[in-house]
Amino acid sequence: MISIEQLSSEPWGTLPGGDPVRLFTLRNAHGMKIAISDLGATLVSWHAPDRAGRLGDILLGHDTPAEYVAATTYMGGLIGRWANRIADARFTLDGIEYTLDRNEGANLLHGGTQGFHRALWDVSEDNGALIMRLESPEGDAGFPGNVTTQVRYSLDDDGTLTIDYEAITDAATPLNLTSHPYFNLTGRPGADIRGHVLSIDADRFFEVDAALIPTRLAEVAGNAFDFRQSAPIGARLDWPHAQLARAGGFDHCYVLGEASAPGIREVACAYDPGSGRELTVFTDQRGLQFYSGNALNGNKGRGGIAYQPHAGLCLEAGGFPNQVNMADEQDAVIVQAGDTYRQVTRYRVGVRSGV
């Protein structure tokens, strides 16, 4: 049993097959608390203060484990083995073609039907941090190699949630992991994120086809996708742009600006003027998927809320969608036998002073 003061656990129902599910809560010295489940290593809730000190839940989510298993929105889930899409659910590695689980039309999305977000993870603690571990056998969703993944969640007193990923494999395989929280910084159930102000440190993004598979790199300059300077999301959603019409909003991967030195750097910031809450994203990854919750359409959420389009936003750090099929980019997402996949992403939530 975890006994660290900042980390507690409690039962959280069962899966349809009867397996018990637990909730683990990280706390900091300022009353912030984040609930994480061993089902999918899922970020279930994040209570953070506004500028008046009032706590509000800034994550979308569901009430029960069964609802998470049944949902197709990936709310808060740890995504693997492959975040985002792989075209035609296939790739070729070392001359062998692998066919994957087709769970979105002809494509693989977010690791397939039984991705990491629907698995029960083993849990331990490390000095107040939450350690989650998962064994993914060879052939899981069609991928080669046995993969062991470990994710470490830690919460600092400055409001920073750090997600440290590590994975090892016994055979060459593509890996692209991410976390999929839906943020709504208002902390108000039923509100949308149109009033949020967003910045992303990226000059380019991937345009997509009708299946949301990247087709080419495009410049953000002069169009709705330019968040190099902070801009309101709602106003940008209303811009006439063929890519926005195709996706129903933003569901595009940004190519992040290069850091002055290798390692983690600030890549995006979202701000809600009403509450004063500010979310800053740091990562060592090359891609950031900005998703504006376009496909939410009455999905049942926590407390019986029916989430509508743009009820939350996702900022998912990782590789590029379909990168394993990009001839000039494939090697960057292939982990060789005996090597270690590593990724670090931080979400910092604080309060901006003023109005």
Task: List pLDDT tens digits, range 13-51.
Answer: 999 889 999 999 999 999 999 999 999 999 999 999 999
One-letter amino acid at 228 equals R
| pLDDT exceeds cutoff 80 at 338 | yes
- Please write the tens of the pLDDT for every residue from 251-308: 999 999 875 556 899 999 999 999 999 999 999 999 999 999 999 999 999 999 999 9
Q: Which of 117, 180, 196, 310 is catalytic?
A: 180
Residue 163, number of CB atoms within 10 A of its CB = 22
Place of tokens 């991937």: 206
* Half-sphere exposure at residue 78, Cβ-oriented, CA atoms within 13 angstroms: 27
Q: What are phi and psi of 346, to 5 degrees?
A: -125, 135
Ordered domains of the chain (ranges, CATH): 7-351 (2.70.98.10)
pTM of the shown model: 0.96
Contact 313, 293 (CB under 8 A): yes
pLDDT in tens, 170-227: 999 999 999 999 999 999 999 999 999 999 999 999 999 999 999 999 999 999 999 9
pLDDT at 1 over 60: no
Asked if pLDDT for residue 141 goes beyond 60, the answer is: yes
| Residue-level pLDDT at 258 | 73
Q: Residue 117 catalytic? A: no
AA letter at 108:
L
Q: What three-state secondary structure class fits 85?
A: strand
HSE-up of residue 232 (Cα within 13 Å, Cβ side): 9
> Known catalytic residue: 310?
no
Angstrom distances, CA of residue 349 to CA of 59, 97, 160, 257, 340: 12, 43, 6, 22, 29
DSSP 234: H
